[in-house]
């Protein structure tokens, strides 16, 4: 996918993610660190990709850019047809709210909120009325097999259960892209398999899934793999 | 409406947060509790004191001017009368009353009074009374509710009857347990029939003409029994003083006439009195002074209360800053999910307001309770006005917003990436 020449007029309709010459430079003292140094690739709607790379490869920066938490220093990044590079903070927030679902390595549930309230969170920011939020959260919990734990606090759940809740929350806004950052990093291998099976199922339902990981066996679940090294795309394998 | 619907979860979140950290929240709120509590109770005490002063002054009558005899301070000027060095003659005269009535414009009525302390007895019981020899109009000028019987009449005056009207204080201490009206009491060496009982002046900071156990008798009776003037000798009889009238109450046609009237009275008296052996009190002026004092008092109280609320607010801000640090990760999560900075600001503002309003409400209870305790413990009157409650509540909301803003901005300014990484 990535080897295609740059399209100056924006992404094609089926490209939910498109990066064109994305750079991200930091100034550390007098030095400029090129965390991303001209990355281009695109991801089609409904595909399942892994982004791999050793530490220092720009993987984290890539995740932040893809997740609209950070803006590229140069180049263009289209997420769901809109160029993120030109957005201000509020627009970025709205873009995350509407188009992205995050799944983190350490789950990142809000400890003082119940399972139900955690899942509701994106819906709350979307401005849905309470009744509808409640109903949708229950549905989502059911879809990840957590419907019997709605009133529990995250601290009362096992790691695997927490990650299921996190996935349910990430799906609440029906995102264009489900972005997972080392989603099994804090789980044992049996639970990891279950969570990866969940991603597989979501992919089969037509979701776009991107998993950022350094573990090859996790990356193997994806249909394609982008390998980063020194801030550049080193290799693109497969693709769905 | 959308705003309200989306705000409620944050209010609930704030409440659960307060509940989760019960001890900390309570300690944080204490500043507000005492701040608001002290605002309300200080206002109540101030209001009570000034209310009392104002009531006392109003009862003196805002149309009245009180002229009183006072002993001149310089010794040599005292003895203008017969026996130099032995009998101090000073004070107001019947002539003064006549001159005031006849020359000062706007005078409706003048009421002379002579006051002496005399021993009263009823059977075994004894009490020193202040005997006020005056004319029936006294009761028309100084408002004094009648509790039983009647006040003095023209007939009492003309017949110089041996009747007296007592204040309830005197009644309680002298007539306790006895039939009150019609009772005969002995004052000095004469017997008086009690014909009426009037309400007492209730203390206060302003001197009232009858703030004690008083017996009112007709002026004519007093003249007949005790003489034209109040002559008193000290022990040994070497020195004494003679005062014709202790007090003249001048009633003016309306409040506008009071101030020019008091100046005119001053002028009349100054012409005939070589020494200043009189004093002029204008309740209206006292009233204005009392109101001015109240305003000053309120400003001082307001400043003190403001400082205590400031301290309370800083306490809350401090805890909220700690809370922001503590919840950095949560802020990161919310931002990652797509919350705008403004949502974070609102969330923390609400959280601060929950604390400050919670503290404010507890303080409200305290502020209503303390004045009750003060009144029951010291007898000082207190008045909790509704405005002070709304003021205190408003202040606690304002404190929440003002002191919540900085922590909230700090929270919102966090970089989501950094915040997520925070442990």
Mean pLDDT lowest among A57-66, A177-186, B3-12, B367-376: B3-12
Domains of chain A: residue spans and CATH: 47-58+89-238 (3.40.50.300)
Task: Give the pLDDT band of residue A160 (cuts 50, 70, 90).
Answer: very high
pLDDT value at residue B284: 78
Predicted pLDDT of residue B205: 38
The beta strand positions in chain A, using DSSP E, are: 15-28, 31-44, 48-52, 74-79, 82-83, 100-103, 177-181, 209-212, 224-229, 232-238
- Distance between first and last Cα of chain A: 10
For residue B254, what is the DSSP state?
S
DSSP bridge pairs for B326: none
Q: Is B333 on the interface with A (CB under 8 A)?
A: yes
What pLDDT is attached to residue A39?
Answer: 94
Partner residue opposite B417 with nearest CB, options A64, A89, A97: A64
- pLDDT (0 to 100) of residue A182: 93
Of B20, B339, B416, the CB nearest to A69: B416
Compute how many other C-beta atoms are within 10 angstroms of the C-beta atom of residue A94: 17
Tell me how many degrees the CA angle B303-B306-B311 measures, rounded to the nearest 5. 130
- Give the minimum alpha-carbon distance from B26 to chain A in angstroms, rounded to a whole number: 19
Question: ipTM of the predicted structure?
Answer: 0.93
Rounded to an integer, what distance in angstroms lies between the CA atom of residue B401 and that of residue B346? 10
Look-up: residue for tokens 């020449």? A5
Residue B2: what pLDDT? 52
Given a contact cutoff of 8 angstroms between Cβ atoms, the answer to whether A144 and A168 are in contact is: yes
Which 3 state secondary structure label does DSSP give A64?
helix
Tens-place pLDDT, residues B300-340: 877 887 888 888 889 899 999 999 999 999 999 999 999 99
User: Tell me, what's the pLDDT at B237?
Assistant: 61
Domain boundaries, chain B: 2-56+289-421, 71-276
User: Does pLDDT of A140 surpass 90?
Assistant: yes
Q: How far apart are CA B355 and CA B18, in angstroms?
A: 7
Give tens-digit pLDDT for A14-27.
899 999 999 999 88
The pLDDT mean for chain A works out to: 91
Element (H or E) spanning B184, and its range? strand B184-187
CA distance A4 to chain B (A): 31
Residues A75-109 pLDDT 10s = 999 999 999 988 999 999 999 999 999 999 999 99
Res. A5: pLDDT tops 70: no
CA angle A51, A54, A56 (to 5 degrees): 105
Contact B157, B220 (CB under 8 A): yes
User: Are A93 and B338 in contact (CB < 8 Å)?
Assistant: yes
Dihedrals phi, psi of A9, to nearest 5 degrees? -100, 30
The pLDDT of residue B234 is: 66
Q: Is the Cβ pair B336, A98 closer than 8 Å?
A: no
Q: Determine the residue among B2, B337, B342 to mutate to test chain A binding: the one whose Cβ has the most chain A Cβ atoms within 10 Å.
A: B337
How many beta-carbon pairs under 8 angstroms link A with B?
69
Residue A225: its pLDDT value, please? 95
C-alpha to C-alpha distances, B243 to A200, B114, B218, B227, B311, nearest whole angstrom: 113, 8, 18, 11, 59
Which residue ranges of chain B lie beneath pLDDT 50?
1, 77-84, 203-211
Residue of B nearest to A169 (CA): B337
pLDDT at residue B204 in the model: 39
């Amino acid at each position: 996918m990535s080897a295609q020449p740059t399209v100056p007029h924006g992404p094609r309709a089926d490209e939910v993610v498109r990066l064109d010459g994305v750079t991200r430079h930091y100034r550390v003292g007098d030095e400029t660190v090129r965390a991303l140094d001209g990355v281009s690739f695109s991801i089609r709607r409904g595909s399942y990709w892994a982004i791999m790379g050793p530490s220092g490869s720009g993987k984290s920066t890539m995740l932040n850019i893809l997740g609209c938490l950070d803006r590229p220093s140069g180049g263009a990044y289209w997420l769901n047809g809109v160029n993120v590079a030109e957005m201000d903070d509020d627009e970025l927030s709205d873009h995350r709210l509407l188009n992205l679902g995050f799944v983190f390595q350490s789950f990142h549930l809000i400890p003082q909120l119940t399972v139900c309230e955690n899942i509701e969170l994106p819906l709350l920011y979307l401005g849905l009325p309470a009744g509808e939020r409640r109903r949708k959260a229950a549905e989502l919990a059911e879809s990840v097999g957590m419907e019997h734990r709605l009133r529990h606090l995250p601290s009362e759940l096992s790691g695997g259960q927490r990650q299921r809740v996190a996935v349910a929350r990430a799906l609440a806004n029906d995102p264009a892209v489900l972005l997972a950052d080392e989603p099994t990093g804090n789980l044992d291998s049996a639970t990891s398999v279950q969570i990866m099976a969940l991603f597989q199922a979501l992919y089969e339902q037509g979701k776009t899934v991107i998993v950022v990981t350094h573990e090859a066996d996790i990356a193997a679940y994806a249909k394609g793999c982008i390998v980063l090294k020194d801030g550049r795309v080193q290799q693109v394998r497969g693709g769905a | 409406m959308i705003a309200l619907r989306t705000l409620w979860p944050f209010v609930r979140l704030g409440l659960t947060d307060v509940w989760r950290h019960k001890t900390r929240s309570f300690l944080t709120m204490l500043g507000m509790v005492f701040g608001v509590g002290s605002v309300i109770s200080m206002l109540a005490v101030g209001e009570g004191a000034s209310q009392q002063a104002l009531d006392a002054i109003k009862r003196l009558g805002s149309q009245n001017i009180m002229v009183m005899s006072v002993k001149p301070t310089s010794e040599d000027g005292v003895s203008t009368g017969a026996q130099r060095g032995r009998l101090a003659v000073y004070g107001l005269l019947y002539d003064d009353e006549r001159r005031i009535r006849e020359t000062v414009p706007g005078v409706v009525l003048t009421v002379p009074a002579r006051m002496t302390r005399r021993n009263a007895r009823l059977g075994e019981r004894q009490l020193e009374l202040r005997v006020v020899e005056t004319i029936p109009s006294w009761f028309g000028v100084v408002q004094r509710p009648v509790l039983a019987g009647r006040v003095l009449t023209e007939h009492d005056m003309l017949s110089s009857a041996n009747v007296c009207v007592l204040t309830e204080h005197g009644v309680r201490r002298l007539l306790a347990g006895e039939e009150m009206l019609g009772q005969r009491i002995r004052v000095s060496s004469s017997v008086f029939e009690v014909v009426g009982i009037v309400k007492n002046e209730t203390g206060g900071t302003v001197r009232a003409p009858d703030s004690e156990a008083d017996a009112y008798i007709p002026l004519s009776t007093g003249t007949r029994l005790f003489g034209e003037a109040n002559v008193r000798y000290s022990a040994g009889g070497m020195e004494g003083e003679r005062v014709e009238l202790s007090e003249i109450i001048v009633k003016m046609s309306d409040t506008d006439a009071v101030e020019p009237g008091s100046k005119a009275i001053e002028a009349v008296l100054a012409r005939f009195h070589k020494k200043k052996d009189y004093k002029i009190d204008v309740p209206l002026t006292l009233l204005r002074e009392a109101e001015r004092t109240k305003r000053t008092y309120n400003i001082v109280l307001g400043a003190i209360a403001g400082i205590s609320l400031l301290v309370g607010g800083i306490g809350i801000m401090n805890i909220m800053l700690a809370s922001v640090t503590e919840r950095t990760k949560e802020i990161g999560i919310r931002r990652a999910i797509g919350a705008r900075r403004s949502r974070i600001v609102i969330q923390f503002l609400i959280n601060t307001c929950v604390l400050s309003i919670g503290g404010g409400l507890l303080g409200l209870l305290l502020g209503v309770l303390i004045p009750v305790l003060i009144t029951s413990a010291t007898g000082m009157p207190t008045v909790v006005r509704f405005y002070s409650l709304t003021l205190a509540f408003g202040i606690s909301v304002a404190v929440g917003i003002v002191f919540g803003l900085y922590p909230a901005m700090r929270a919102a300014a966090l970089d989501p990436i950094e915040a997520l990484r925070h442990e």
